[in-house]
Amino acid sequence: MEARSHLTRLTLSIAAFFTLIGGVSGAALAQGVNGGDPKLNTIPNTVPQGGLNDMPPPPVAGAPISPESPMPPSDAETSPSINKTTHASPDTPAAPPPKRTKKEKDKEEADHAIAIAKAHSIPPRTGAWTLGFDFRQLNIKPDDGRYKEHKISPDVNVGYVTIRNTWWFMGRVHLVFGPTSEHFPNSPTLDTSGYGYSFTYGKSLFGDLRKSSGDYGAELGLEAFQVVGRSFESKTLSDGSLSSGWVMRTSWTALSPALYATFLQPSRPQGNRPEWLVTRIEGYRVSLGVVIPVQTSWDLSWTHDQVGQGGRGKWKGAFGLASLTAWLGI
């Protein structure tokens, strides 16, 4: 009995000891969390009034965000140090430059060349080759009125021109290829060919041959020509006789005053740079004038039934002249 009583007392003592230890530990923990105020030793109720059923479910990873759910502000919206200006990606191709016309490119190249020439005191080019066509309305009246010529005589011509700021000088060689189908009394058809030389001086009326709007002026030419009309067939006359072997030689030396218009590009500097040496059309010249002979001659020969016939002498008459020439920078 005494042993059992002793064991009971020992058990009660141990239980009282652990109860005392637990109370002291709880008080110390509450004092550390709440600043030692025993009135704050309570845990707030975080469960909503309706219970756990009213709490929103946790978000699921990868699920789309509802538009009703507020989104947290981004760093770009909250940070004033971030520049909100958008820039093109370096991989984005730049917009192509606007296309330029040939005239704009030529003007830009010419302006660049002029600037270089001025910077290095390089003189401009003044020479160009010429290629053109002339048309003369013949009005040849020999002493013997039977052999007049009134048709158009065209020619192709080549030469060289010197171009300055206010004047130009041109020398050319002409190859005549007309008129064709010329007729004289009792003659078969004659076809005309020939050659000539001309030298022309032009003076600007506005003081600038190279301006972009063109230039106008007066010119005076000196020319010397010889043309020959030949027949290559025979003609039977009304009396049964035969006319053949017609050759009509006409020559003149004349002055040719005219009015001209030129349309030229800006001059290029002298030098060996590729853009200065490339072949190009420097411009065009158009003129209308008159040919005033100062020395003339004609010489006609033909056969009538194998008997030589002919005549020679001087002729009178002025005739019109139209000329178109391209000036080529080579």
pLDDT digits (tens, 9 = 90+) for 3-26: 556 566 666 666 666 665 555 455
CA 106 to chain centre: 6
H-only helix segments in the chain? 2-33, 75-78, 102-119, 274-277
Question: How many angstroms separate the CA atoms of 142 and 316, rounded?
Answer: 6
List Cα–Cα distances, 88 to 74, 91, 98, 145, in angstroms: 22, 8, 20, 88
Is residue 19 included in any domain, yes or no?
Answer: no
Is residue 98 included in any domain, yes or no?
Answer: no
Is residue 240 included in any domain, yes or no?
Answer: yes
Is residue 324 included in any domain, yes or no?
Answer: yes
Question: In the chain, what percentage of residues exceed pLDDT 90?
Answer: 42
- Count structural domains, the chain: 1
Is residue 24 included in any domain, yes or no?
Answer: no
> For the whole model, what pTM was predicted?
0.64
The pLDDT of residue 42 is 47
Q: What residues have CB less than 8 Å from 116, skipping those under 6 apart?
A: 122, 269
pLDDT digits (tens, 9 = 90+) for 190-217: 999 999 999 999 999 988 888 877 899 9
Helix (H) or strand (E) segment spanning residue 288: strand 280-304
Is residue 262 included in any domain, yes or no?
Answer: yes
Q: Which residue has the higher pLDDT, 81 or 269?
A: 269
Count the neighbouring beta carbons within 10 Å of the beta carbon of residue 282. Answer: 25
- What residues make up the domain containing 260? 125-329
CATH number of the CATH domain containing 132: 2.40.160
Is residue 213 included in any domain, yes or no?
Answer: yes
Q: Which residue has the higher pLDDT, 88 or 145?
A: 145
